[in-house]
Amino acid sequence: MKEAQILIIEDDVVFAEMVQFQLSTSGISLENIISIDSIVEAKEIRKYQEPDVILLDLNITDSSGVETYDSIKDLFPLASVIVLSGMDDESIALEIVSKGGQDYVLKGDLNAQILNKTIKYGLLRRQLSIKVQKSERKFKDVFKKSPLPIIQLVGEEMTIGLVNNAAQELYKVDDQELIGKRLTSFNSGSSKDDLITSNGGRFIQLISDGTQITVDIEISQIESDVSKIEFIALIIDRTKELEFEKRKFDIISHAEESEKKKIARELHDGLGQQMVLLNLLFQNLEVKEEQKSNYKELGDLLQSCIREVKEIAYNLLPPELEAGFINAMERFAHRINAIGEIEFRLEMEESIIESDMHSIDNFNLYRIIQELFNNTIKHANASVFTFHMIKDQFGKISITISDDGDGFDIENVEHGLGLANIQYRMNMSGISGKFHSDIGKGTHVDLKFNS
Protein backbone atom coordinates (compact mmCIF):
# COMPACT_ATOMS: atom_id res chain seq x y z
CA MET A 1 0.00 0.00 0.00
CA LYS A 2 2.88 2.40 0.83
CA GLU A 3 4.19 2.22 -2.73
CA ALA A 4 0.84 2.93 -4.40
CA GLN A 5 0.61 6.25 -6.22
CA ILE A 6 -2.84 7.78 -5.66
CA LEU A 7 -4.34 10.57 -7.78
CA ILE A 8 -7.48 12.31 -6.47
CA ILE A 9 -9.46 14.26 -9.07
CA GLU A 10 -12.05 16.26 -7.14
CA ASP A 11 -13.06 19.94 -7.41
CA ASP A 12 -14.46 20.09 -3.83
CA VAL A 13 -11.31 21.03 -1.89
CA VAL A 14 -12.77 20.15 1.53
CA PHE A 15 -13.88 16.69 0.35
CA ALA A 16 -10.53 16.10 -1.37
CA GLU A 17 -8.65 16.94 1.87
CA MET A 18 -10.91 14.60 3.81
CA VAL A 19 -10.12 11.79 1.35
CA GLN A 20 -6.38 12.50 1.69
CA PHE A 21 -6.67 12.30 5.47
CA GLN A 22 -8.53 8.96 5.35
CA LEU A 23 -5.92 7.57 2.96
CA SER A 24 -3.11 8.64 5.29
CA THR A 25 -4.75 6.80 8.19
CA SER A 26 -4.64 3.67 5.99
CA GLY A 27 -0.85 3.80 5.82
CA ILE A 28 -0.44 5.67 2.55
CA SER A 29 2.16 8.42 2.72
CA LEU A 30 0.90 11.89 1.82
CA GLU A 31 3.82 12.24 -0.59
CA ASN A 32 2.28 9.44 -2.67
CA ILE A 33 -1.07 11.27 -2.90
CA ILE A 34 -1.76 14.06 -5.40
CA SER A 35 -5.02 16.00 -5.54
CA ILE A 36 -6.17 17.98 -8.60
CA ASP A 37 -9.49 19.37 -9.84
CA SER A 38 -9.41 19.37 -13.67
CA ILE A 39 -8.53 17.53 -16.87
CA VAL A 40 -6.00 20.27 -17.64
CA GLU A 41 -4.08 19.48 -14.45
CA ALA A 42 -4.35 15.76 -15.18
CA LYS A 43 -2.57 16.35 -18.50
CA GLU A 44 0.27 18.06 -16.64
CA ILE A 45 0.52 15.19 -14.13
CA ARG A 46 0.71 12.76 -17.07
CA LYS A 47 4.01 14.25 -18.15
CA TYR A 48 5.89 12.96 -15.11
CA GLN A 49 3.76 10.37 -13.32
CA GLU A 50 1.59 7.29 -13.93
CA PRO A 51 -0.70 6.80 -10.88
CA ASP A 52 -1.69 3.31 -9.76
CA VAL A 53 -5.14 4.33 -8.53
CA ILE A 54 -7.32 7.29 -9.48
CA LEU A 55 -10.19 8.41 -7.24
CA LEU A 56 -12.37 10.27 -9.72
CA ASP A 57 -15.24 12.68 -9.21
CA LEU A 58 -17.23 12.77 -12.46
CA ASN A 59 -18.23 16.43 -12.20
CA ILE A 60 -15.10 18.57 -11.99
CA THR A 61 -14.00 22.03 -13.05
CA ASP A 62 -13.70 21.44 -16.81
CA SER A 63 -15.62 18.18 -17.42
CA SER A 64 -18.66 16.19 -16.33
CA GLY A 65 -20.22 12.73 -16.49
CA VAL A 66 -18.98 9.89 -18.65
CA GLU A 67 -16.83 12.31 -20.66
CA THR A 68 -14.68 12.82 -17.55
CA TYR A 69 -14.02 9.10 -17.23
CA ASP A 70 -13.20 8.77 -20.95
CA SER A 71 -10.72 11.64 -20.82
CA ILE A 72 -8.95 10.32 -17.71
CA LYS A 73 -8.83 6.75 -19.03
CA ASP A 74 -7.25 8.02 -22.26
CA LEU A 75 -4.58 9.81 -20.22
CA PHE A 76 -3.93 6.95 -17.77
CA PRO A 77 -4.90 3.67 -19.50
CA LEU A 78 -3.13 1.46 -16.94
CA ALA A 79 -4.51 3.10 -13.80
CA SER A 80 -7.28 1.57 -11.71
CA VAL A 81 -10.12 4.13 -11.78
CA ILE A 82 -12.51 4.27 -8.82
CA VAL A 83 -15.45 6.65 -9.23
CA LEU A 84 -16.41 8.92 -6.30
CA SER A 85 -20.14 9.08 -6.84
CA GLY A 86 -22.92 11.16 -5.38
CA MET A 87 -26.44 9.78 -5.09
CA ASP A 88 -27.54 11.80 -8.12
CA ASP A 89 -24.97 10.21 -10.49
CA GLU A 90 -24.91 6.63 -9.17
CA SER A 91 -26.42 5.30 -12.43
CA ILE A 92 -23.65 7.00 -14.42
CA ALA A 93 -21.07 5.47 -12.09
CA LEU A 94 -22.53 2.01 -12.78
CA GLU A 95 -22.35 2.70 -16.51
CA ILE A 96 -18.67 3.60 -16.16
CA VAL A 97 -17.94 0.39 -14.25
CA SER A 98 -19.55 -1.53 -17.12
CA LYS A 99 -17.18 0.30 -19.50
CA GLY A 100 -14.09 -0.77 -17.58
CA GLY A 101 -13.97 1.34 -14.43
CA GLN A 102 -12.74 -0.70 -11.44
CA ASP A 103 -15.37 0.33 -8.88
CA TYR A 104 -17.37 3.20 -7.48
CA VAL A 105 -17.86 4.50 -3.94
CA LEU A 106 -20.75 6.64 -2.74
CA LYS A 107 -19.37 9.82 -1.24
CA GLY A 108 -21.83 9.61 1.61
CA ASP A 109 -20.57 6.16 2.64
CA LEU A 110 -16.88 7.00 2.36
CA ASN A 111 -14.61 6.10 5.27
CA ALA A 112 -11.02 4.92 5.77
CA GLN A 113 -11.99 1.23 5.88
CA ILE A 114 -13.99 1.36 2.64
CA LEU A 115 -11.26 3.37 0.91
CA ASN A 116 -8.58 0.96 2.10
CA LYS A 117 -10.49 -2.09 0.82
CA THR A 118 -11.47 -0.43 -2.47
CA ILE A 119 -7.92 0.69 -3.26
CA LYS A 120 -6.51 -2.70 -2.29
CA TYR A 121 -8.88 -4.48 -4.69
CA GLY A 122 -8.25 -1.81 -7.31
CA LEU A 123 -4.51 -2.45 -7.15
CA LEU A 124 -5.03 -6.20 -7.45
CA ARG A 125 -7.27 -5.70 -10.48
CA ARG A 126 -4.68 -3.35 -11.97
CA GLN A 127 -1.97 -6.00 -11.60
CA LEU A 128 -4.22 -8.57 -13.24
CA SER A 129 -5.08 -6.11 -16.00
CA ILE A 130 -1.40 -5.45 -16.69
CA LYS A 131 -0.71 -9.20 -16.85
CA VAL A 132 -3.62 -9.68 -19.24
CA GLN A 133 -2.42 -6.82 -21.44
CA LYS A 134 1.12 -8.24 -21.48
CA SER A 135 -0.30 -11.64 -22.40
CA GLU A 136 -2.40 -10.08 -25.17
CA ARG A 137 0.62 -8.16 -26.48
CA LYS A 138 2.68 -11.35 -26.47
CA PHE A 139 -0.11 -13.21 -28.34
CA LYS A 140 -0.47 -10.41 -30.87
CA ASP A 141 3.30 -10.34 -31.34
CA VAL A 142 3.39 -14.10 -31.99
CA PHE A 143 0.31 -13.79 -34.22
CA LYS A 144 1.73 -10.90 -36.23
CA LYS A 145 5.23 -12.34 -36.65
CA SER A 146 4.26 -15.93 -37.46
CA PRO A 147 5.92 -16.98 -40.75
CA LEU A 148 2.68 -18.73 -41.75
CA PRO A 149 -0.33 -16.67 -42.93
CA ILE A 150 -2.93 -16.57 -40.13
CA ILE A 151 -6.31 -14.86 -40.18
CA GLN A 152 -8.90 -14.39 -37.44
CA LEU A 153 -12.44 -14.98 -38.72
CA VAL A 154 -15.49 -13.64 -36.89
CA GLY A 155 -19.08 -14.92 -36.87
CA GLU A 156 -20.94 -17.55 -38.85
CA GLU A 157 -20.23 -15.59 -42.05
CA MET A 158 -16.48 -15.80 -41.28
CA THR A 159 -15.53 -12.20 -41.95
CA ILE A 160 -11.88 -11.26 -41.49
CA GLY A 161 -11.09 -9.70 -38.11
CA LEU A 162 -7.30 -9.78 -37.67
CA VAL A 163 -4.57 -10.48 -40.22
CA ASN A 164 -0.90 -11.20 -39.59
CA ASN A 165 2.00 -9.91 -41.68
CA ALA A 166 2.46 -13.18 -43.58
CA ALA A 167 -1.20 -13.16 -44.69
CA GLN A 168 -0.83 -9.58 -45.93
CA GLU A 169 2.23 -10.63 -47.93
CA LEU A 170 0.40 -13.66 -49.36
CA TYR A 171 -2.63 -11.67 -50.57
CA LYS A 172 -0.46 -8.59 -51.37
CA VAL A 173 -2.74 -6.14 -49.53
CA ASP A 174 -2.55 -4.38 -46.16
CA ASP A 175 -4.69 -5.42 -43.22
CA GLN A 176 -7.15 -2.53 -43.64
CA GLU A 177 -8.10 -3.82 -47.09
CA LEU A 178 -8.62 -7.32 -45.70
CA ILE A 179 -10.49 -6.60 -42.46
CA GLY A 180 -14.25 -6.91 -42.85
CA LYS A 181 -14.05 -8.98 -46.03
CA ARG A 182 -15.18 -12.57 -46.29
CA LEU A 183 -12.44 -15.06 -47.04
CA THR A 184 -14.57 -16.42 -49.90
CA SER A 185 -14.22 -13.06 -51.70
CA PHE A 186 -10.79 -14.24 -52.92
CA ASN A 187 -12.13 -17.51 -54.37
CA SER A 188 -11.86 -17.92 -58.13
CA GLY A 189 -11.79 -20.63 -60.77
CA SER A 190 -13.47 -23.84 -59.68
CA SER A 191 -13.65 -22.55 -56.05
CA LYS A 192 -15.58 -19.37 -56.93
CA ASP A 193 -18.91 -20.62 -55.60
CA ASP A 194 -17.48 -22.78 -52.80
CA LEU A 195 -18.19 -21.90 -49.19
CA ILE A 196 -15.43 -21.87 -46.59
CA THR A 197 -16.71 -23.76 -43.56
CA SER A 198 -15.20 -24.77 -40.23
CA ASN A 199 -13.86 -27.85 -42.05
CA GLY A 200 -11.60 -25.69 -44.25
CA GLY A 201 -10.37 -27.33 -47.45
CA ARG A 202 -8.50 -26.56 -50.66
CA PHE A 203 -9.43 -23.46 -52.66
CA ILE A 204 -8.34 -21.62 -55.80
CA GLN A 205 -7.95 -17.93 -54.94
CA LEU A 206 -7.04 -14.71 -56.73
CA ILE A 207 -4.72 -12.23 -55.01
CA SER A 208 -4.58 -8.48 -55.60
CA ASP A 209 -1.99 -8.58 -58.40
CA GLY A 210 -4.16 -10.97 -60.43
CA THR A 211 -2.10 -14.08 -59.62
CA GLN A 212 -4.06 -17.28 -59.01
CA ILE A 213 -2.96 -19.35 -56.02
CA THR A 214 -4.01 -22.68 -54.56
CA VAL A 215 -4.33 -22.73 -50.78
CA ASP A 216 -5.22 -25.21 -48.08
CA ILE A 217 -7.22 -23.50 -45.32
CA GLU A 218 -7.19 -25.11 -41.87
CA ILE A 219 -9.75 -23.63 -39.48
CA SER A 220 -10.09 -24.00 -35.70
CA GLN A 221 -12.75 -22.41 -33.51
CA ILE A 222 -11.32 -20.49 -30.56
CA GLU A 223 -12.78 -19.78 -27.12
CA SER A 224 -14.05 -16.23 -26.85
CA ASP A 225 -15.84 -14.15 -24.24
CA VAL A 226 -17.68 -12.15 -26.91
CA SER A 227 -21.09 -12.99 -28.29
CA LYS A 228 -19.86 -13.85 -31.80
CA ILE A 229 -18.00 -17.07 -32.49
CA GLU A 230 -14.41 -16.73 -33.64
CA PHE A 231 -12.06 -18.88 -35.70
CA ILE A 232 -8.37 -18.96 -36.50
CA ALA A 233 -7.58 -19.83 -40.11
CA LEU A 234 -4.15 -21.07 -41.16
CA ILE A 235 -3.54 -20.39 -44.88
CA ILE A 236 -1.06 -22.78 -46.51
CA ASP A 237 0.02 -21.74 -50.00
CA ARG A 238 0.32 -24.92 -52.10
CA THR A 239 0.84 -23.15 -55.44
CA LYS A 240 4.56 -23.82 -55.94
CA GLU A 241 4.28 -27.33 -54.56
CA LEU A 242 1.47 -28.16 -56.98
CA GLU A 243 3.31 -26.50 -59.88
CA PHE A 244 6.31 -28.70 -59.14
CA GLU A 245 4.08 -31.78 -58.90
CA LYS A 246 2.39 -30.84 -62.17
CA ARG A 247 5.73 -30.44 -63.95
CA LYS A 248 6.79 -33.80 -62.58
CA PHE A 249 3.45 -35.28 -63.63
CA ASP A 250 3.78 -33.81 -67.12
CA ILE A 251 7.23 -35.35 -67.53
CA ILE A 252 6.09 -38.74 -66.24
CA SER A 253 2.83 -38.54 -68.18
CA HIS A 254 4.67 -37.64 -71.38
CA ALA A 255 7.06 -40.55 -70.88
CA GLU A 256 4.17 -42.91 -70.13
CA GLU A 257 2.16 -41.79 -73.13
CA SER A 258 5.19 -42.06 -75.40
CA GLU A 259 5.69 -45.61 -74.17
CA LYS A 260 1.99 -46.35 -74.61
CA LYS A 261 2.11 -45.04 -78.17
CA LYS A 262 5.09 -47.24 -78.87
CA ILE A 263 3.34 -50.30 -77.41
CA ALA A 264 0.10 -49.44 -79.24
CA ARG A 265 1.89 -49.17 -82.58
CA GLU A 266 3.76 -52.43 -81.94
CA LEU A 267 0.50 -54.16 -81.10
CA HIS A 268 -1.31 -52.70 -84.10
CA ASP A 269 1.44 -52.92 -86.70
CA GLY A 270 3.30 -55.91 -85.34
CA LEU A 271 1.34 -58.49 -83.38
CA GLY A 272 -2.01 -57.28 -84.74
CA GLN A 273 -0.94 -57.58 -88.39
CA GLN A 274 0.64 -60.96 -87.79
CA MET A 275 -2.58 -62.22 -86.20
CA VAL A 276 -4.60 -60.92 -89.17
CA LEU A 277 -2.22 -62.77 -91.52
CA LEU A 278 -2.47 -65.85 -89.35
CA ASN A 279 -6.25 -65.63 -89.55
CA LEU A 280 -6.12 -65.46 -93.37
CA LEU A 281 -3.90 -68.53 -93.49
CA PHE A 282 -6.15 -70.29 -91.04
CA GLN A 283 -9.23 -69.53 -93.13
CA ASN A 284 -7.56 -71.19 -96.16
CA LEU A 285 -6.87 -74.44 -94.36
CA GLU A 286 -8.67 -77.54 -95.55
CA VAL A 287 -10.06 -79.53 -92.65
CA LYS A 288 -11.59 -82.93 -92.39
CA GLU A 289 -15.20 -83.32 -91.38
CA GLU A 290 -14.30 -84.61 -87.91
CA GLN A 291 -12.07 -81.52 -87.36
CA LYS A 292 -14.64 -78.87 -88.25
CA SER A 293 -15.83 -78.42 -84.67
CA ASN A 294 -12.31 -77.76 -83.42
CA TYR A 295 -11.61 -75.62 -86.47
CA LYS A 296 -14.59 -73.35 -85.63
CA GLU A 297 -13.54 -73.01 -81.99
CA LEU A 298 -9.99 -72.11 -83.01
CA GLY A 299 -11.32 -69.58 -85.52
CA ASP A 300 -13.55 -67.93 -82.92
CA LEU A 301 -10.66 -67.81 -80.46
CA LEU A 302 -8.39 -66.22 -83.07
CA GLN A 303 -11.02 -63.59 -83.92
CA SER A 304 -11.43 -62.84 -80.20
CA CYS A 305 -7.66 -62.39 -79.82
CA ILE A 306 -7.56 -60.00 -82.79
CA ARG A 307 -10.39 -57.92 -81.31
CA GLU A 308 -8.70 -57.85 -77.90
CA VAL A 309 -5.37 -56.74 -79.36
CA LYS A 310 -7.14 -53.94 -81.26
CA GLU A 311 -9.02 -52.93 -78.10
CA ILE A 312 -5.81 -52.74 -76.09
CA ALA A 313 -4.07 -50.76 -78.83
CA TYR A 314 -7.07 -48.41 -79.05
CA ASN A 315 -7.18 -47.79 -75.30
CA LEU A 316 -3.46 -47.12 -75.22
CA LEU A 317 -3.64 -44.65 -78.09
CA PRO A 318 -7.14 -43.36 -78.93
CA PRO A 319 -6.66 -42.00 -82.46
CA GLU A 320 -9.87 -39.96 -82.30
CA LEU A 321 -8.25 -37.49 -79.89
CA GLU A 322 -6.00 -36.31 -82.71
CA ALA A 323 -9.17 -34.91 -84.32
CA GLY A 324 -10.29 -33.21 -81.07
CA PHE A 325 -12.02 -34.04 -77.80
CA ILE A 326 -15.58 -33.71 -79.10
CA ASN A 327 -14.82 -36.08 -81.96
CA ALA A 328 -13.19 -38.53 -79.52
CA MET A 329 -16.27 -38.54 -77.25
CA GLU A 330 -18.64 -39.08 -80.17
CA ARG A 331 -16.57 -42.02 -81.41
CA PHE A 332 -16.24 -43.40 -77.87
CA ALA A 333 -20.02 -43.31 -77.35
CA HIS A 334 -20.68 -44.83 -80.80
CA ARG A 335 -18.25 -47.68 -80.14
CA ILE A 336 -19.77 -48.50 -76.72
CA ASN A 337 -23.34 -48.34 -78.02
CA ALA A 338 -22.39 -50.65 -80.92
CA ILE A 339 -21.32 -53.31 -78.43
CA GLY A 340 -24.73 -53.06 -76.74
CA GLU A 341 -23.78 -54.04 -73.18
CA ILE A 342 -24.60 -50.58 -71.77
CA GLU A 343 -26.15 -47.43 -73.21
CA PHE A 344 -23.75 -44.50 -73.49
CA ARG A 345 -25.77 -41.26 -73.58
CA LEU A 346 -23.79 -38.38 -75.00
CA GLU A 347 -25.37 -34.99 -74.20
CA MET A 348 -23.45 -31.94 -75.44
CA GLU A 349 -24.83 -28.46 -76.06
CA GLU A 350 -24.79 -27.64 -79.77
CA SER A 351 -23.04 -24.34 -79.06
CA ILE A 352 -19.93 -26.14 -77.78
CA ILE A 353 -17.10 -26.23 -80.31
CA GLU A 354 -13.60 -27.67 -80.17
CA SER A 355 -11.97 -24.29 -79.44
CA ASP A 356 -13.92 -24.14 -76.15
CA MET A 357 -11.69 -26.99 -74.97
CA HIS A 358 -8.33 -25.36 -75.81
CA SER A 359 -7.42 -24.50 -72.20
CA ILE A 360 -8.40 -27.94 -70.84
CA ASP A 361 -6.06 -30.93 -70.63
CA ASN A 362 -8.06 -33.00 -73.13
CA PHE A 363 -5.88 -36.08 -72.95
CA ASN A 364 -6.17 -36.48 -69.15
CA LEU A 365 -9.85 -35.54 -69.26
CA TYR A 366 -10.43 -38.32 -71.80
CA ARG A 367 -8.50 -40.78 -69.59
CA ILE A 368 -10.58 -39.73 -66.55
CA ILE A 369 -13.81 -40.40 -68.46
CA GLN A 370 -12.45 -43.76 -69.63
CA GLU A 371 -11.61 -44.70 -66.04
CA LEU A 372 -15.03 -43.62 -64.79
CA PHE A 373 -16.67 -45.66 -67.52
CA ASN A 374 -14.50 -48.69 -66.69
CA ASN A 375 -15.51 -48.38 -63.00
CA THR A 376 -19.17 -48.29 -64.06
CA ILE A 377 -18.75 -51.43 -66.18
CA LYS A 378 -16.84 -53.30 -63.47
CA HIS A 379 -18.75 -52.34 -60.33
CA ALA A 380 -22.02 -50.49 -60.94
CA ASN A 381 -24.27 -53.00 -62.76
CA ALA A 382 -25.59 -49.98 -64.65
CA SER A 383 -27.68 -49.94 -67.81
CA VAL A 384 -27.05 -46.27 -68.69
CA PHE A 385 -23.87 -44.19 -68.56
CA THR A 386 -24.46 -40.46 -69.21
CA PHE A 387 -21.93 -37.83 -70.28
CA HIS A 388 -23.40 -34.30 -70.06
CA MET A 389 -21.38 -31.24 -71.11
CA ILE A 390 -22.58 -27.62 -70.93
CA LYS A 391 -21.13 -24.14 -71.45
CA ASP A 392 -22.15 -21.17 -69.28
CA GLN A 393 -22.61 -17.56 -70.40
CA PHE A 394 -18.90 -16.87 -69.80
CA GLY A 395 -17.81 -19.76 -72.02
CA LYS A 396 -16.71 -22.00 -69.14
CA ILE A 397 -17.19 -25.72 -69.64
CA SER A 398 -18.53 -28.06 -66.97
CA ILE A 399 -19.18 -31.78 -67.27
CA THR A 400 -21.46 -34.12 -65.36
CA ILE A 401 -21.00 -37.89 -65.56
CA SER A 402 -23.56 -40.24 -64.06
CA ASP A 403 -24.86 -43.79 -64.12
CA ASP A 404 -28.00 -45.54 -62.90
CA GLY A 405 -26.10 -48.33 -61.17
CA ASP A 406 -25.84 -49.69 -57.65
CA GLY A 407 -24.08 -46.67 -56.16
CA PHE A 408 -21.82 -46.88 -53.11
CA ASP A 409 -21.17 -45.39 -49.68
CA ILE A 410 -18.65 -42.62 -50.37
CA GLU A 411 -17.51 -42.44 -46.74
CA ASN A 412 -16.61 -46.12 -46.55
CA VAL A 413 -15.61 -47.03 -50.10
CA GLU A 414 -12.17 -48.52 -50.57
CA HIS A 415 -10.15 -46.30 -52.91
CA GLY A 416 -8.66 -48.71 -55.41
CA LEU A 417 -6.22 -48.04 -58.22
CA GLY A 418 -8.98 -46.72 -60.51
CA LEU A 419 -10.13 -43.95 -58.16
CA ALA A 420 -6.53 -43.17 -57.23
CA ASN A 421 -5.65 -42.73 -60.92
CA ILE A 422 -8.67 -40.49 -61.44
CA GLN A 423 -7.77 -38.29 -58.45
CA TYR A 424 -4.13 -38.11 -59.50
CA ARG A 425 -4.99 -37.03 -63.04
CA MET A 426 -7.46 -34.45 -61.68
CA ASN A 427 -4.92 -32.91 -59.31
CA MET A 428 -2.23 -32.65 -61.95
CA SER A 429 -4.36 -31.39 -64.82
CA GLY A 430 -6.33 -28.66 -63.02
CA ILE A 431 -9.60 -30.60 -62.96
CA SER A 432 -11.72 -30.75 -59.81
CA GLY A 433 -14.36 -33.40 -59.29
CA LYS A 434 -17.10 -33.90 -56.74
CA PHE A 435 -18.44 -37.42 -56.29
CA HIS A 436 -22.02 -38.01 -55.18
CA SER A 437 -23.32 -41.52 -54.64
CA ASP A 438 -25.81 -43.41 -52.51
CA ILE A 439 -26.41 -47.11 -52.40
CA GLY A 440 -29.14 -47.96 -54.91
CA LYS A 441 -29.12 -44.46 -56.46
CA GLY A 442 -26.19 -44.58 -58.85
CA THR A 443 -23.14 -42.33 -59.03
CA HIS A 444 -22.86 -38.69 -60.07
CA VAL A 445 -19.57 -36.86 -60.77
CA ASP A 446 -19.28 -33.10 -61.40
CA LEU A 447 -16.14 -31.99 -63.22
CA LYS A 448 -14.96 -28.38 -63.24
CA PHE A 449 -11.85 -26.81 -64.71
CA ASN A 450 -9.53 -24.36 -63.00
CA SER A 451 -8.50 -22.64 -66.21
Please give the full DSSP string across 168-195, using - where no structure is assigned. Answer: HHHHTS-HHHHTT-BGGGGB-GGGTT--
Q: What pLDDT does residue 416 have?
A: 58
* Those residues with Cβ within 8 angstroms of residue 259's Cβ, 6 or more apart along the chain or in another chain: none
Give the model's pLDDT for residue 249.
66
* Whole-prediction pTM: 0.46
Extract the residue ranges of the chain whose pLDDT is less than 70: 1-3, 86-104, 109, 190, 224-227, 249, 252-253, 264, 268-269, 272, 313-320, 413-418, 450-451
Long-range contacts from 319-325, C-beta under 8 angstroms, 24+ separation: 321/362, 321/363, 321/366, 324/354, 324/357, 324/362, 325/354, 325/357, 325/360, 325/362, 325/365, 325/366
DSSP string, 362-402: HHHHHHHHHHHHHHIIIII--SEEEEEEEE-TT--EEEEEE
* Overall fold of domain 6-143: Rossmann fold (3.40.50)
Name the 3-class secondary structure at 427.
helix
Identical fold, 6-143 and 146-237: no
Q: What is the pLDDT of residue 440?
A: 87
Question: Residue 98 burial (CB < 10 Å; 0-12/13-18/19+)?
Answer: exposed
CATH node for 146-237: 3.30.450.20
What homologous superfamily does CATH list for 321-451?
A: Histidine kinase-like ATPase, C-terminal domain (3.30.565.10)
Domain map (residue ranges) of the chain: 6-143, 146-237, 239-317, 321-451
H-state helical runs in 188-324: 239-265, 272-283, 292-316
pLDDT at 438: 85
Amino acid at 368: I
